[in-house]
């Protein structure tokens, strides 16, 4: 009988349920985006939590139509944004509560994890690396813009799969907020990332200048966002503004990553999170870092955005003989 591992995640904008088998093969990947009113730039936690509660019965029904729940031998869920003491967002109480309830009903182990660890696991699982036990990671999304030093662990120790050290990141807006605020101003709607990426393909680099703001491990997107708004008001073509936003993010990331590489000597870096799905950003970062002999790994675009696949992989990695880690 096939053994199945469930993963649940309720981020700020997506309700997710995924399942893998004991070999790490993906069986289910269901996601329900939360609804944001036209012209708004986000949701309050209470509104997001309410939508998650409404969405989960639908996802459970879809899962039950595709797998036999009697084959589920483990459940993992995101219980917090990050795996650090005090990390908390109300939205994750839904995935935490639903996951624990399912595990208790089925009489199977429950593995608590974090949203960020789910992103890291989905990245390694889909990118096939990094292989070293220590590497750098960029988590780039609407709620996080961080450079991490990551050490992978063996689940046999009973410890979390990752030990992460926060090296630096944004002191104000996150990269996804930068994209969304500019995108909404351009009439692209929320979330704006995919539409801004398409628009930027028609733009020309250098037609609109948005300086990057990075000093050591501290980066900022509030100043660049204000400059982007000024470019829009000055009548700079929307496509050129969109390309300028992407270019600014690239330059900011490169400064932050190079500082981390210089201080820690890590030559492998994993990039995860919704903004890391942008093809222009992926290409530019990869090409530039290759010149520094730094190897980049990107979560596949469909596993860069919020999902529960990495959470399910964590369950399989913790409770079976499956190991998603690539060999060194």
The predicted pLDDT at position 153 comes to 78
Dist CA 151 CA 41 (whole Å): 35
- The pairing of strands 4-10 and 72-80 is parallel
3-state secondary structure labels for all residues of 245-258: HHHHHHHHHHHHHH
Structure tokens at 15: 């309700």
Decide if 317 contacts 286 (C-beta within 8 A): no
Structure tokens at 102: 């399912």
Close Cβ partners of 25 (under 8 Å, ≥ 6 residues apart): none
The pLDDT tens digits of the residues spanning 236-261 come to: 999 999 999 999 999 999 999 999 99
Q: What is the pTM of this model?
A: 0.95
Dist CA 52 CA 72 (whole Å): 22
Dist CA 308 CA 151 (whole Å): 21
Decide if 164 contacts 116 (C-beta within 8 A): yes
Give the Å distances, CA to CA, from 295 to 15, 254, 260.
32, 13, 14
- The pairing of strands 145-152 and 162-170 is antiparallel
Half-sphere exposure of 278 (CA within 13 A, CB side): 29
Give the Å distances, CA to CA, from 14 to 62, 99, 121, 243, 268.
16, 16, 18, 26, 29
Dist CA 237 CA 40 (whole Å): 23
Dist CA 140 CA 60 (whole Å): 29
The predicted pLDDT at position 322 comes to 86
Close Cβ partners of 205 (under 8 Å, ≥ 6 residues apart): 243, 244, 247
CA 143 remoteness from chain centre: 9
3 state SS of 94: helix
The closest of 149, 123, 127 to 136, measured between CA atoms, is: 149
The predicted pLDDT at position 281 comes to 97
Domains and CATH numbers, the chain: 4-129+303-319 (3.30.420.40), 175-301 (3.30.420.40)
Q: Strand 268-272: give its sheet, edge to edge.
A: 213-215, 218-220, 162-170, 145-152, 134-140, 268-272, 295-298
Dist CA 89 CA 87 (whole Å): 7
Helix (H) or strand (E) holding 95: helix 92-106
Tell me the mean pLDDT per 10 residues along the chain, length 328: 93 97 96 92 94 97 97 97 92 98 98 96 95 94 96 67 93 97 95 97 88 97 98 97 97 98 97 97 98 97 96 94 74
Q: What is the 8-class DSSP label of residue 99? A: H
Q: What is the 8-class DSSP label of residue 327? A: P
């Amino acid at each position: 009988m096939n053994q199945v591992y469930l993963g649940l995640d309720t981020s700020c904008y997506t309700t997710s349920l995924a399942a893998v088998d004991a070999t790490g093969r993906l069986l289910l990947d269901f996601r329900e985006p939360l609804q944001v009113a036209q012209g708004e730039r986000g949701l309050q936690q209470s509104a997001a939590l309410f939508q998650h509660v409404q969405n989960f019965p639908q996802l459970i029904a879809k899962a039950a139509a595709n797998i036999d729940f009697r084959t589920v031998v483990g459940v993992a869920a995101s219980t917090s944004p990050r795996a650090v003491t005090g990390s908390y967002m109300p939205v994750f109480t839904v995935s935490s509560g639903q996951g624990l309830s399912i595990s208790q009903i089925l009489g199977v182990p429950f593995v608590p994890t974090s949203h960020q660890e789910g992103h890291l696991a989905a990245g390694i699982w889909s990118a096939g690396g990094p292989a070293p036990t220590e590497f750098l990671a960029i988590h780039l999304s609407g709620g996080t813009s961080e450079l991490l030093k990551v050490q992978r662990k063996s689940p046999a120790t009973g410890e979390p799969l990752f030990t992460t050290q926060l090296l630096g990141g944004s002191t104000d807006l996150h990269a996804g907020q930068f994209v969304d605020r500019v995108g909404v101003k351009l009439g692209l709607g929320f979330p704006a990332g995919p539409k801004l990426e398409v628009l930027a393909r028609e733009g020309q680099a250098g037609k609109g200048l948005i300086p990057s703001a990075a000093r050591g491990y501290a980066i900022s997107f509030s100043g660049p966002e204000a400059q982007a708004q000024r470019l829009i008001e000055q009548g700079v073509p929307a496509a050129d503004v969109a390309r300028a936003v992407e270019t600014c993010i690239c330059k900011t990331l490169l400064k932050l990553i190079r500082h981390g590489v210089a201080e820690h000597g890590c030559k492998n870096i994993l990039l995860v999170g919704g903004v890391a799905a942008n093809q222009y950003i992926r290409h530019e970062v990869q090409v530039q870092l290759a010149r520094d002999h730094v190897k980049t790994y990107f979560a596949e675009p469909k596993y860069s955005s919020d999902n529960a696949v990495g959470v399910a992989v964590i369950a399989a990695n913790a409770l079976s003989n499956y190991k998603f880690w690539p060999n060194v």
